[in-house]
Amino acid sequence: MKKAMHFVSSIALASLLAASGPGIPRASAGEGNGKGHEKDVCVYSAHGSDEERAQNAKGGPGSGGGGKQDTCSKTYAKWTGSAIRLFLNTGGWPAAISAATFADCASKAFAEWSCHSGLGEAVVFTTASDAASADITLGWGNLGTTGILGQTTTNYFSGVISHSSIVMNSNQAAFQWTAGPSPSVDGDGCAVEVGNGNTSTNNYDFLSVLTHEIGHSLGVSHPNRRCSSTDHCYPETMFSCTDAEEFMRRALNAGDRLSVSSLYGVQQ
Query: DSSP of 238-253, one letter per residue?
Result: TSSEE-TT-GGGGS--
Question: Is the torsion defined by CA of 235, 45, 84, 38 positive or negative?
Answer: positive
The pLDDT-based confidence of 61 (bands split at 50, 70, 90) is: very low
Q: Which of 155, 173, 156, 178 is nearest to 165 (CA)?
A: 155
Higher pLDDT, 9 or 120: 120
The span from the CA of 116 to the CA of 148, in Å, is 27
In a domain? residue 156: yes
Question: Tell me, what amino acid is at 73?
Answer: S
Compute CA 65 distance to the chain's CA centroid, rounded to the nearest angstrom: 16
Q: What's the mean pLDDT when you consider all of the chain?
A: 82
- The CA distance from 223 to 208, in Å, is 17
Predicted confidence band of residue 268 (pLDDT cuts 50, 70, 90): low
64 has pLDDT over 50: no
- Over range 70-82, report the average pLDDT: 91
Using pLDDT thresholds of 50, 70 and 90, give the confidence band for residue 254. Answer: very high
Question: 13 in a domain, yes or no?
Answer: no
Residue 137 within any structural domain of the chain: yes
User: Residue 65 above 80 pLDDT?
Assistant: no
pLDDT of residue 55: 67
With cut-offs at 50, 70 and 90, classify the pLDDT of residue 180: very high
- Residue 244 lies in domain: 86-268
The answer as to whether 37 is a domain residue is no
Query: How does 132-165 read in b/e, with b if 16+ C-beta sit within 10 Å?
Result: eebbbbbbbbebeebbbbbbbbbbbeeeebbbbb
The answer to whether position 251 is within a domain reads yes
- Counted domains in the chain: 1
Q: Answer yes or no: is 6 within a domain.
A: no
Per-residue pLDDT band for 117 (boundaries 50, 70, 90) equals: very high
Please state the rounded mean pLDDT for residues 224-232: 82
- 227: pLDDT confidence band, cut at 50, 70 and 90? confident
Are 20 and 13 in contact, with CB atoms under 8 Å apart? no
Q: Residue 233's pLDDT is what?
A: 93
pLDDT at 249 over 50: yes
Could you tell me if residue 217 is inside a domain? Answer: yes
**Residue 7, pLDDT score:** 36
Euclidean distance between CA atoms 96 and 56, whole angstroms: 30
Stretch 53-69: mean pLDDT: 52
Asked whether residue 175 is assigned to any structural domain, the reply reads: yes
The predicted model gives 90-118 an average pLDDT of 92
Q: Which of 34-48, 106-120, 162-176, 180-194 has the lowest mean pLDDT?
A: 34-48
**Cα separation of 123 and 186, whole Å?**
23
Question: What's 163's domain CATH number?
Answer: 3.40.390.10
**Which carries the bigger pLDDT value, residue 90 or residue 6?**
90
What's the pLDDT at 163? 96
- pLDDT given for residue 42 in this prediction: 74
Secondary structure string (H, E, C) spanning 49-110:
CHHHHHHHHHCCCCCCCCCCCCCCCCECCECCCCEEEEEECCCCCCCCCCHHHHHHHHHHHH
